Amino acid sequence: EDKVVQSPLSLVVHEGDTVTLNCSYEVTNFRSLLWYKQEKKAPTFLFMLTSSGIEKKSGRLSSILDKKELFSILNITATQTGDSAIYLCAVPAVGGTSYGKLTFGQGTILTVHP
Amino acid sequence: ETGVTQTPRHLVMGMTNKKSLKCEQHLGHNAMYWYKQSAKKPLELMFVYSLEERVENNSVPSRFSPECPNSSHLFLHLHTLQPEDSALYLCASSQSLTTDTQYFGPGTRLTVL
């Protein structure tokens, strides 16, 4: 069974700090890894990573994948209070009968204080 | 309206009630999903539909009954629920089953008394 583990489970920082969130995975067949941000209700898509060592970047957020060591990190620089959210990592099932199934980690709760 | 919408946003029901959750996607996607998010647990996939056909039922109790009348709409019919079914129910859609990126609705916060 596919497994995703995120760390830390929660993190409290002050505005301006840089944070690194971790996601490790064990899957039968790997195709991609996805990061989502969940504020209040709907998880919103951040990044999809498929290739090792290639950084995806969007403003102050960036993410990279290491397929050899089976993990990904999400970096947020110069954090703002609006970055406070739950950050979710997920991997899709590939092949077999588990069509469309995303396996999620427990999430990291990030709190940014002013 | 764009994206994925869900109604109602909040629902309180007794254990003997029957209610339905509605999801609509305006993205032209062919696959739709129901997830359950309980406190301190990862999102759990409940059902997967592709082109109105159910392709996955993730060992969900029969008191949850999904319906997909067309590729834009998905319902979750609820009856004789238990208090432990209280959770956030999220709907998502993707272009197809083999497209990994899923887009989520805002969810329905369900409380079962």
pLDDT tens, position by position, A54-99: 889 999 999 999 988 999 999 999 999 999 999 999 999 877 666 6
- Of A18, A83, A14, give the one whose Cα is nearest residue A44: A83
Give residue for tokens 């199934």: A101
Mean pLDDT confidence for B56-64: 85
What whole-number percentage of chain A has pLDDT above 90? Answer: 75
pLDDT digits (tens, 9 = 90+) for B19-43: 999 999 999 999 999 999 998 889 9
Contacts of B101 in chain A (CB under 8 A): 34, 45, 48
Q: Write the CB contacts of A11 (distance below 8 Å, at least 6 apart in sequence).
A: A19, A21, A108, A109, A110, A111
Between residues A93 and B82, which one has the greater pLDDT? B82
Instruction: Identify the pLDDT of residue B94.
Output: 94
Is the Cα dihedral A82, A45, B23, B17 positive or negative? Answer: negative
The count of other CB atoms within 10 Å of the CB of residue B60 is: 17
For residue B3, the model assigns a pLDDT of: 93
Distance from C-alpha of B79 to C-alpha of A111, rounded to nearest angstrom: 37
Residues with Cβ < 8 Å from B10, sequence gap 6 or more?
B108, B109, B111
Of the candidates A34, A44, A101, the beta carbon closest to that of B45 is on A101
Please check the confidence at residue B1 and state whether its pLDDT lies above 60: no
- Residue of B27, B100, B110 for testing the chain A interface, max A β-carbons within 10 Å: B100
Smallest CA-to-CA distance from B78 within B35, B32, B30, B110 is with B110
The stretch A28-57 carries a mean pLDDT of 90
**Nearest in space to B34 (alpha carbons), one of B48, B22, B24:** B48
Extended beta strands in chain A, E state: 3-7, 10-14, 19-26, 33-38, 43-49, 56-58, 61-66, 71-76, 85-92, 102-104, 108-113
Q: Which of A4, A36, A102 is the closest to B45 by Cβ?
A: A102
